[in-house]
């Protein structure tokens, strides 16, 4: 389970609305409680750099690079937090993971997907990679 505050929920929705009709992505930093549930403490925007990859459109895909990942781990450490996972938007598409999303997924992280339709934030879902089946499973997400 992952809990995000209303403020962080708003930050993600604002990012998605600003980036529309392109995808945007970012990361959630925070803590795990005694039961392993994730609680977000900080949201970090990640530059959408897919444009640099020939033949691919920002609208369809996002990518977190090894440099992004290192920078996020460093920022988390500096703040005394843990990297909990990533969010990205699906402009005019359902908040369900694509095959590309699955191919970039790492275990233990939360993958939050926000649908944005006509510049309006829609459904928000979270997924976790099941290491045994190598498929995404829905993760309970709580805004409180």
Shortest Cβ 112–Zn ion spacing (Å): 10
DSSP the chain: -EEE-HHHHHHHHHHHHHHTTS--EEEEEEEE-TTS-EEEEEEEEE---GGGSTT--TTT-----HHHHHHHHHHHHHTT-EEEEEEEEEETS-SS--HHHHHT--TT-EEEEEEEETTEEEEEEEEEEETTTTEEEEE-EEE-
Nearest to 97 by CA among 84, 88, 106: 88
Shortest Cβ 46–Zn ion spacing (Å): 13
Instruction: Pick the closer one to Zn ion by CB: 68 or 101.
Output: 101
Shortest Cβ 68–Zn ion spacing (Å): 16
Instruction: Pick the closer one to Zn ion by CB: 103 or 118.
Output: 103
What gap in Å lies between CA 79 and CA 12, rounded to an integer? Answer: 20
Convert residues 77-116 into a mask of x (bound to Zn ion by CB under 5 A) and - (unbound): ---------------------x--x---------------
Q: Report whether 31 contacts 70 (CB < 8 A).
A: no
Nearest to Zn ion by Cβ — which residue?
A: 101
Instruction: Pick the closer one to Zn ion by CB: 9 or 87.
Output: 87
Instruction: Pick the closer one to Zn ion by CB: 5 or 98.
Output: 98
Instruction: Pick the closer one to Zn ion by CB: 35 or 103.
Output: 103
Shortest Cβ 42–Zn ion spacing (Å): 22
Q: Count the site residues for Zn ion by CB under 5 A.
A: 2
* Contact positions vs Zn ion (CB under 5 A): 98, 101
């Amino acid at each position: 389970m992952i809990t995000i505050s209303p403020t962080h929920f708003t930050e993600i929705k604002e990012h998605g609305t600003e980036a529309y009709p392109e995808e945007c992505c970012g990361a959630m930093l925070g803590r795990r409680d005694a039961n392993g549930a994730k609680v977000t403490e900080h949201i970090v925007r990640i530059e959408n750099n897919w444009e640099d990859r020939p033949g691919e459109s920002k609208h369809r895909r996002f990518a977190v690079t090894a440099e992004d990942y290192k920078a996020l781990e460093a920022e988390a450490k500096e703040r005394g937090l843990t990297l909990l996972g990533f969010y990205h938007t699906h402009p005019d598409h359902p908040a369900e993971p694509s095959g590309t999303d699955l191919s970039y997924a790492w275990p233990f992280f939360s993958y939050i997907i926000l649908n944005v339709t006509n510049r309006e934030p829609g459904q928000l879902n979270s997924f976790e990679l099941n290491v045994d089946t190598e498929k995404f499973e829905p993760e309970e997400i709580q805004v409180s």
